[in-house]
Amino acid sequence: MKFKKLTREQLIISFDRLTRFKNTKEKYFRVFSDIILSNLIEPIYKKSELVSLSSKKLTYIAENIINDSLNSLFNNTNNNNIINKIIYDYENSLFYNDNDTQDFLNNNIEYNLAVNLIDESSPINLRWLKFINTGRDLIELRKCKGLKFPIERVLLVEGITEEILLPAFSKYLGHDFYREGIQIIPAGGKNQVVKLYYKMIEELKIPIYLLLDKDAEENIAQIQPRLRKTDKIHLVSCGEFEDLLPKSLIIKTVNNELSNFACITELDFDENLPNARNLENIFKNKGLHEFKKADFAKLVRDNITQDSDISNEIGTIIKEFML
């Protein structure tokens, strides 16, 4: 077998992708396949041929390329499989993994060398990798260092606004998503929530909390027959998640962040329109740039400074998925 070594950057990217919160089989197959396609010189495999290779064969080739690359960068003879065992147990605690996936996880990648690639600027999943070999309890480590992993619960939401703002509202109320092992996932719409939930319950062992807008009653009816006992659903009481934002918070955000261009009051709001539509009109009428939910949510996040910035229902939602 002939191959070219992975660069330091390629190694970091590979370990980053291997340690993300993703379906175990899918991520290992993709990472190992990419390594083989980009660095294996002989034998040569086409992308279509890798699907027919066993997971053991893929693992054998990829781990040899990875380990040889690591050994060329770091001179360390203290080889052990402690980190491998922790990752193996962790991935199996999250996902329902088949025999092929067990073959991927039963690898001999030299993680003891890989940790030398990690520093304080590395993604949080890699920083977690560096700490898990300390012998400390992983939950205690997560809470102490704010390392996010191990993940214990998933919060499945419709869109980017919830993804940005729920961690911020929670933090103000004394809850840290990273320290409490919560992974928030935006599905990209109510119909996608249903599809993603169906996929997740086939893969995930951990609890899932679903947050849906008021117009998603039919979607909940689809989910309900398959809702697991460990999972919960919250239907927003009126409109969209944006409609749960206090008007005072929206006004404060616009006036603080866009004071050079506009100033608004409650008179700029049409009580018959949802908040998102009101903001679209305000941005247009005030000659501001196009209103974008994600950008505005980031501005709102920076203006959460007092109790009145959090509506009762947002507080209730946070309490529910923290239980």
pLDDT tens figures, 97-114: 999 999 999 999 999 999
How far is it, in rounded angstroms, from Cα 12 to Cα 24?
18
Residue 4, CA distances (Å) to 10, 69, 135, 172 in order: 12, 8, 35, 49
Q: For residue 182, is it within any domain?
A: no
Cα separation, 180 vs 225, whole angstroms:
29
- Domain for residue 149, yes or no? no
Q: Is the pLDDT of residue 89 over 70?
A: yes
Closest CA to 283 of 311, 253, 309: 253
Please name the amino acid found at residue 220. I
pLDDT of residue 310: 97
**Which H or E run includes 6?**
none
Choice among 30-39, 89-98, 135-144 with the minimum mean pLDDT: 135-144
3-class DSSP assignment, residue 4: coil
d(CA 304, CA 55): 48
Closest CA to 249 of 299, 198, 196, 187: 299
Question: What mean pLDDT, rounded, does the chain reach?
Answer: 95
Tell me how far apart the alpha carbons of residues 316 and 134 are, in angstroms, rounded to a whole number. Answer: 37
The count of structural domains within the chain is: 1
Mean pLDDT of 206-211: 97
Range of the domain at 50: 2-144
- The reported pLDDT for the residue numbered 80 is 78
Q: Quick: pLDDT tens for 131-169.
A: 988 888 999 999 999 999 999 999 999 999 999 999 999
What integer is the mean pLDDT of 223-230? 96
Establish if 308 belongs to a structural domain. no
pLDDT of residue 117: 95
Q: Please identify which residue in the block is written with the tokens 């390392």.
A: 147
DSSP SS3 for 235: strand
Q: What is the pLDDT of residue 78?
A: 67
Report if residue 165 sits inside a domain.
no
Measured between alpha carbons, how far is 102 from 24 in angstroms, rounded to an integer? 9
Half-sphere exposure of 58 (CA within 13 A, CB side): 26
For residue 183, list its beta bridge partners: 154
Q: Is the pLDDT of residue 236 over 70?
A: yes
User: Is residue 24 within 8 Å of 105, Cβ to Cβ?
Assistant: yes
On whether residue 238 sits in a domain, the answer given is: no
Tokens 């400074």 -> residue: 305
- Residue 105, CA atoms < 13 Å, CB-side half-sphere: 23
- The answer to whether residue 212 sits within a structural domain is no
The reply to whether 252 falls in a domain is no
> Crossing angle for the helix pair 293-301 and 247-257, nearest 10 degrees?
90
What are the beta bridge partners of residue 232?
A: 209
pLDDT of residue 211: 97
